[in-house]
Amino acid sequence: MNKRARQPPSTTWFDRATMNFTNVRLILAREVRDQMRDRRTLFMIFVLPILLYPLLGTAYFQMVQFQTQNSMTVLVVGGGQLASTSTPLIEDSAFSPQLFFDGPRGTELLKLEMAPEGPPSGSDTASDWTAEANRLVQSKKFDAALVFPPDFANRLEAYRKAIHVAANRLPSPPAPLPKGEGSIVEIPRPKIIYTTANERSLMACNRLTAVLDRWTEDVGKTNLVAGGMPAQAVRPFEIDRSNLAGESASKSANIWSRMLPVMLLLWAMTGAFYPAVDLCAGEKERGTLETLLSSPAERSEIVLGKLLTIMAFSMVTSALNLVSVGLTGCLIFRQMQDFGGPPAWAVLWLSLALVPVSALFSALCLALASFARSTKEGQYYLMPLLMLSLPMAVLPMSPGVELNLGNSLIPISGLVLLLKTLLEGSYVQALQFLPVVLAVTMVACWLAIRWAVEQFNKESVIFRESERFAVGLWMRHLMRDRDPTPSAAEGLFCGIMILVLSFVFRSSVAPPAGFDGFARVTLVLQLAVILTPALIMAVILTSSPRQTLLLRLPRWKMIPAAAVLALAMHPFIIALNSLVMYLYPIAPEMKRLVDDLQTKFASADLGLLILCVAAVPAVCEELAFRGFILSGCRNLGNNWRAIIVSAILFGVAHGFLQQSINACVLGIVLGYLAVRSGSLLPGVVFHFLHNAMTVLIAKITPELMDRFPVLGFLVQPSGEGPVYQWPVYLFGGVTSLALLGWFTWFPAARSPEDVLQKVFEQSTEDSG
């Protein structure tokens, strides 16, 4: 059979020439009508947003009212003696209204009860009142307690008189100074007793602290006046503030600009998710998909019809939620002080952003939902999608995060930040990064739509059938039906386990003090956390650990080739590192840690340093990531997919983001070497030399360059340490490309997965 002649017409991408838009419109109309007849969808999309925010707003408003109107009671111990002080704290058995910013209303909200004079019942001494107050606050009889030491009032008064005497140079009267702690400056401190375990107690403490602060200030003023000084001496001048945007408008804009973009994203996703599950997984479950696929509608038309439906619902859900929250903001929050509805121009920016956001999430949800066998399975995918998208939407809202080139390159975060910047009114900054954000969002949309179409064209996805799962059967299957190499799930599980273990290990071990400590921590991390799980899993879960871990010799030429490639690529990896650091500047704390590490390296013995930083990681990480994990990932059915997945896991296993991006790129090269050579050895050589070069280049000092001028041809000193000369980049670039090309051309030994993959490719071609 002529395979070329029997290629089926393309169904993998939207073809405008052959696409029948009448069919797309028909499918769109049917799906929309279908969803509009589903009560759950209607509730989620129309009813919930209309009711949710007014209800939430009302509830919040009620709660605030309830909280502010709720009065608290404070037990005051030893308050009786304060009557003799010149500045009143307590008047008519209540805190003085002048001490509250809201006057008599404050007095109503913070009530007090005076403890009786003398010791508490069941005790002999008055000092037992502290213990009794503790007990009373703990048992919630009082929200807080204020305990004045027994001779507090006397000492305070004596202090004031002493100031008066000193200021007027009067002959010293025989002042009845209290006995005890000697100096009159030593006034015993009153104590507030409260508990953070109780919200009311904490609020009572805060109010009481504010009252006492004002009182202390008043006492200070009285003392100054007594000493012949003006009361204003405490606070010689006040500071005026002038907010050009207006206090209320600025506060509102700030809050809304943080809240609305996140809401837009979350609801665009939720609005897309439920219809997507019903339209794909639901249709599979009800058996209607097969009928539709046998109709004249092409798959691309079906996908487009469904995508547009999902997008429409996503946009309507998001828009309704935003309108509802905006109106609620205007109507309810306006009653709150300094808070208004969202700014009017927000509507424009949000409406514009709604289209790409909905398109992105609709395509993602469509692809996920077409993968699900049933609506129930589809629902399970919501949480992972939410957990992945939420941080990308919420993290940019952290204080201090601004729109810049690095942030605009992150798919969802860039868009959120752009919206936030627009809502804040910083148009110049927003315009500057608009093209980048738009380009990134469009690429993400395109990838998501492609993924969705690809899912719909896969027979294995469209006709996935339910499988029965039982733990016992599964365990037996794992042990009995072992294959020479691990399954994709086992490979991924190993990767995730290594990530979790390294996180736990890094968090539980204190940063080592010297290089010896660093060496110990590194060795334990490499051997126990990275290598051991991979080895154990290779032995238990596979029938050929040797084949899994690629423990065979490659063609000999590959080893020197890998070595030269490592040296040739090193300048580019360093340059990439600088670019990453420029785009995503390292946090100051992390920078301190890195600098600290460099200092440790500088003082370390070179042999030991290379062992810890280059040799051990080269062996352990290669066995784990290019051995077990990559072998497992190759069962994903595509070598490049396997290389990229294992490289991402390798990247994430490195401490922080900037290092991860670099490691991920290295992981792709290492994975490529492993796949092409069928052996772990070239990767180990590459990894070792790359790490060793990083250590060695840091050791090149200006003094060393003076001693060995030849080094000047390779590197030049800079503020951040030595950097490569440009001819090195040129030569390295040419050599790297040549070697990578050579690896492609080289007839590498095929693994069983490759052979199987060829069979599948053959079968697909046959089918065409």
Partner 1 sequence: MIEVQGLTKYYADLRRGRFVALDGLSFYALPGQVYGLLGPNGAGKTTALRILSTVLRPSNGTARVNGYDVVLEPSQVRRQIGFMSANTGIYDRMTAWEMVEYFGRLHGLPPAELTQRMESLFEKFKMNDIRDVLGAKMSTGMRQKVSIARAIVHDPPVLIFDEATAGLDVLVARALLHRVAELRQNGKCIIFSTHIMREAEKLCDRLAIVHRGKILAEGTLEELRQEHGENDLEEIFFQLISRYEQAGTPAAEHDLV
Q: In terms of CB distance, is 481 or 589 closer to partner 1?
A: 481
Among 297, 434, 438, 597, binds partner 1 (CB under 8 A): 297
719 binds partner 1 (CB under 8 A): no
Window contacting partner 1 (CB under 8 A); options: 96-104, 251-259, 358-366, 759-767: 759-767
Window contacting partner 1 (CB under 8 A); options: 28-36, 309-317, 554-562, 609-617: 28-36
Cβ–Cβ < 8 Å for 297, 27: yes
Cα 84 to Cα 79: distance, rounded to the nearest angstrom: 10
506 binds partner 1 (CB under 8 A): no
**Size of the chain in residues:** 768
38 binds partner 1 (CB under 8 A): yes
Q: Strand, helix or coil at 114?
A: strand
Give kind and range of the element (H or E) at residue 190.
none
Distance of CA 766 to the CA centre of its chain: 47
767 binds partner 1 (CB under 8 A): yes
The minimum distance between CB 699 and partner 1, in angstroms, equals 48
487 binds partner 1 (CB under 8 A): yes
Q: In terms of CB distance, is 6 or 105 closer to partner 1?
A: 6
Sign of the torsion angle spanned by Cα atoms 211, 214, 220, 221? negative
Q: Strand, helix or coil at 144?
A: strand
Cα 78 to Cα 145: distance, rounded to the nearest angstrom: 11
Picking from 274, 255, 263, 285, the residue whose alpha carbon sits closest to that of residue 314 is 274
298 binds partner 1 (CB under 8 A): yes
Among 293, 386, 586, 611, binds partner 1 (CB under 8 A): 293
93 binds partner 1 (CB under 8 A): no
Among 26, 436, 593, 619, binds partner 1 (CB under 8 A): 26
288 binds partner 1 (CB under 8 A): yes
Among 122, 173, 174, 287, binds partner 1 (CB under 8 A): 287
Among 30, 552, 699, 758, binds partner 1 (CB under 8 A): 30
141 binds partner 1 (CB under 8 A): no
Picking from 414, 418, 419, 261, the residue whose alpha carbon sits closest to that of residue 325 is 261
Cα 415 to Cα 423: distance, rounded to the nearest angstrom: 12
The minimum distance between CB 601 and partner 1, in angstroms, equals 45
Q: Strand, helix or coil at 104?
A: helix
The minimum distance between CB 278 and partner 1, in angstroms, equals 10
Picking from 690, 721, 692, 725, the residue whose alpha carbon sits closest to that of residue 711 is 725
Give kind and range of the element (H or E) at residue 200.
helix 199-226
The footprint of partner 1 on residues 456-475 (CB under 8 A) is 459-460, 463
295 binds partner 1 (CB under 8 A): yes
Bridge-partner residues for 144, per DSSP? 74
Sequence-ordered list of residues with C-beta below 8 angstroms from that of 483, at least 6 positions apart, any chain = 542, 543
Q: In terms of CB distance, is 157 or 483 closer to partner 1?
A: 483
Sequence-ordered list of residues with C-beta below 8 angstroms from that of 143, at least 6 positions apart, any chain = 72, 73, 74, 137, 194, 198, 200, 201, 203, 204
509 binds partner 1 (CB under 8 A): no
The minimum distance between CB 711 and partner 1, in angstroms, equals 52
707 binds partner 1 (CB under 8 A): no
The minimum distance between CB 545 and partner 1, in angstroms, equals 18
33 binds partner 1 (CB under 8 A): yes
Question: Dihedral through CA 298, CA 299, CA 304, CA 307, nearest 10?
Answer: 150
Instruction: Outline where DSSP puts E strands in 135-241.
Output: 144-147, 191-193
Among 483, 615, 696, 729, binds partner 1 (CB under 8 A): 483
9 binds partner 1 (CB under 8 A): yes
Sign of the torsion angle spanned by Cα atoms 210, 213, 219, 224? negative
Question: Dihedral through CA 95, CA 99, CA 101, CA 102, nearest 10?
Answer: 30
Q: In terms of CB distance, is 427 or 760 closer to partner 1?
A: 760
The minimum distance between CB 605 and partner 1, in angstroms, equals 49
Distance of CA 242 to the CA centre of its chain: 36
3 binds partner 1 (CB under 8 A): no
Sequence-ordered list of residues with C-beta below 8 angstroms from that of 569, at least 6 positions apart, any chain = 669, 690, 732, 736
Q: In terms of CB distance, is 22 or 127 closer to partner 1?
A: 22
Interacting residues toward partner 1 by CB under 8 A: 1, 6, 8-9, 22-23, 26, 30, 33-34, 37-38, 286-288, 290-298, 459-460, 463, 483, 487, 635, 637, 756, 759-760, 763, 766-768
